[in-house]
């Protein structure tokens, strides 16, 4: 089965199987350094479960040092001390450097996170460069307003940097999700302390080296891989960090909000979990819909918050579509990320493998009908077969919880109002998918769905120009698009009294 609309380019991936050069120390105040406690973590290739590198792990002391460096840069060499065109120039230069190293960065994503190499190379890393260019273009265009309030008074507004920002990124799309935060933060004049996942720090550290080459002043960008309980908590509770942007689970998102409130009431952006519905109406083009549905569900082995894991199928086409989806699930090839024939790679770790298999067993125990998959794949590494369930009892965990693995549930519906009630009956509200040939149905249903984004006749393919974020337990605030700029700025109003002319 061919995946829709992406990943056409191929290269000789043999070059990268032996490893890629990257400094695995902390990046603090413009240079690589050992952490204060000189602690390290072993990194593993999830496709094989084998050791690939040691990386430094930051401590609370390192967070304090990084915040100090960021504040110093903000006062002397960044923020309002650097013109917007100068910031844009550096971001454009950084985008060029990323683009020149597409294959190397894609290989690091594959080695460290299990991401399919061609997908990283053909989509993720080009999107990193595209995001940097998009926000470089915004750097000198995020203007305020001039407002005439009444005779003798004038006001204008300014978008000012919020300060030092703590950026916390998960392990599923390490560099792409990093840039969603870094690019608008830097474009608007902020300094950052970035915490990549301790499981997948390699591309963030390689990116840090590129910021050196691009010429960013020391302290503007600091990269501290570390554990959530130490580095993550230190960032969210720090009294000198003005903003935290977090992507991850809803449970941790609640802890981030609590720490932000208990410290200095720092501003927070949360992009959290999802349990996204996919609705297939009877007039949908099934030949087009099937690869879109299974791509949304199984790409990166379901380790995507936007995955369409709840699939609602109209009763008139249910018996036709279900066998097609089952066949596509069986054909969705798993493999090492460097295998050009693989469509999806491994789960990130043994812990995640155990979690996903636990949900699958819970689904079986609840009495759901297993249609495809349902077990660990028979190969080295952390692979789970693409799995589909039907006849899922109401309230079963496989239908309500974010599994973050290749597991989908199928259900039948009769009317539009019925399926909207089912689709919206979720704690989450991140994305939704609609398949129909009717423009009226598409617009009506997209409007009625409780989700931050709705995709019609396509899977969740995001782009730099369009804002992205959730509602309900999927979080708040927006990444991407012009809307992300407001997440990293303070809007100041300046009021001026204009004195009347004094006639001579």
Q: Which residue numbers are catalytic? A: 271
Q: Between 174-187 and 84-100, two packed helices, what is the crossing angle to 10 degrees?
A: 160
CA distance 238 to 67: 9
CA separation (Å) from 387 to 36, 150, 376? 45, 65, 10
Output the DSSP codes for 280-340. E-TTS-HHHHHHHHHHHHHGGGG--TT---EEEEETTTHHHHHHHHHHHHHHS-B--TT-T
- Asked whether the beta carbons of 453 and 430 are under 8 A apart, the reply is yes
DSSP state of 226: B
- The tokens for 124 are 């993720």
Work out the number of other CB atoms within 10 angstroms of the CB of residue 18.
Answer: 8
- CA–CA gap between residue 227 and residue 200 (Å, rounded): 11
Instruction: Determine contact, residues 487/245, Cβ cutoff 8 Å.
Output: yes
Element (H, E) at 440: helix 439-448
Q: Map residue 461 onto helix, strand or coil.
A: coil
The CA distance from 126 to 113, in Å, is 18
CA distances from 278 to 6, 96, 437, 449 (A): 20, 37, 15, 11
- Dist. CA 184–CA 216, nearest whole Å: 15
d(Cα 147, Cα 133) in Å, to the nearest integer?
31
d(CA 200, CA 228): 13
Residue 354's Cβ-side half-sphere holds a number of Cα atoms within 13 Å equal to 3
Is 20 in contact with 111 (CB distance < 8 Å)? yes
Q: Which DSSP state fits 80?
A: G
464: nearest Cα among 478, 474, 449, 450: 478
Q: How many CB atoms lie within 10 A of CB 179?
A: 29
Q: What is the CA radius of gyration of the chain?
A: 24
Going by C-alpha positions, the residue among 195, 165, 198 that lies closest to residue 177 is 195
Inter-residue contact 232 to 260 (CB < 8 Å): no
């Amino acid at each position: 089965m061919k995946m829709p609309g992406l990943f056409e380019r191929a290269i000789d991936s043999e070059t990268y199987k032996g490893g890629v050069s990257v400094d695995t120390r902390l990046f603090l105040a413009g240079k690589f350094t050992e952490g204060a406690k000189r602690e390290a973590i072993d990194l593993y290739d999830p496709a094989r479960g084998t050791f690939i590198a040691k990386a430094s792990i930051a401590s609370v002391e390192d967070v304090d040092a990084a915040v100090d460096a960021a504040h110093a840069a903000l006062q002397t060499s960044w923020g309002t001390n650097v013109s917007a065109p100068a910031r844009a120039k550096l971001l454009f230069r950084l985008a060029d450097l990323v683009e020149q190293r597409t294959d190397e960065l894609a290989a690091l994503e594959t080695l460290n996170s299990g991401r399919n190499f061609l997908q990283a190379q053909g989509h993720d890393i080009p999107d990193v460069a595209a995001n940097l260019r998009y926000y470089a273009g915004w750097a000198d265009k995020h203007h305020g307003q001039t407002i005439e309030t009444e005779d003798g008074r004038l006001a204008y507004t300014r978008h000012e940097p919020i300060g030092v920002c703590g950026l916390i990124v998960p392990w599923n799309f390490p560099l792409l999700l990093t840039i969603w935060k870094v690019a608008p933060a830097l474009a608007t004049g902020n300094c950052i302390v970035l915490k990549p996942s301790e499981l997948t720090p390699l591309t963030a550290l390689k990116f840090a080296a590129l910021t050196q080459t691009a010429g960013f002043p020391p302290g503007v960008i600091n990269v501290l891989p570390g554990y959530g309980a130490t580095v993550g908590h230190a960032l969210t509770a720090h009294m000198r960090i003005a903003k935290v942007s977090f992507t991850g689970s809803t449970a941790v998102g609640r802890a981030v909000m609590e720490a932000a409130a208990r410290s200095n009431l720092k501003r927070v952006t949360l992009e959290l979990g999802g349990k996204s519905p996919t609705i297939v109406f009877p007039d949908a083009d099934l030949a087009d819909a099937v690869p879109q549905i299974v791509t949304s569900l199984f790409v990166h082995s379901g380790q995507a918050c936007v995955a369409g894991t709840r699939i609602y199928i109209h009763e008139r086409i249910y018996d036709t579509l279900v066998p097609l989806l089952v066949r596509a699930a069986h054909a969705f090839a798993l493999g090492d990320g460097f295998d050009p024939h693989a469509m999806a790679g491994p789960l990130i770790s043994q812990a995640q493998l155990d979690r996903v298999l636990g949900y699958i067993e819970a689904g079986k125990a609840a009495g759901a009908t297993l249609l495809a998959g349902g077990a660990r794949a028979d190969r080295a590494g952390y692979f789970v077969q693409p799995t589909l369930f039907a006849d899922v009892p109401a309230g079963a965990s496989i239908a309500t919880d974010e599994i973050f693995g290749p597991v989908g549930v199928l259900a039948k519906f009769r009317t539009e109002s019925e399926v909207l009630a089912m689709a919206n009956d979720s704690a989450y509200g991140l994305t939704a998918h609609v398949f129909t040939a009717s423009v009226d149905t598409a617009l009506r249903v997209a409007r009625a769905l409780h989700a931050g984004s709705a995709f019609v006749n396509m899977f969740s393919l995001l782009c730099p120009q369009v804002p992205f974020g959730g509602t309900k337990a999927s979080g708040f605030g927006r990444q991407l698009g012009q809307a992300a700029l407001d997440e990293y700025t303070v809007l100041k109003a300046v009021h001026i009294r204009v004195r009347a002319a004094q006639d001579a």
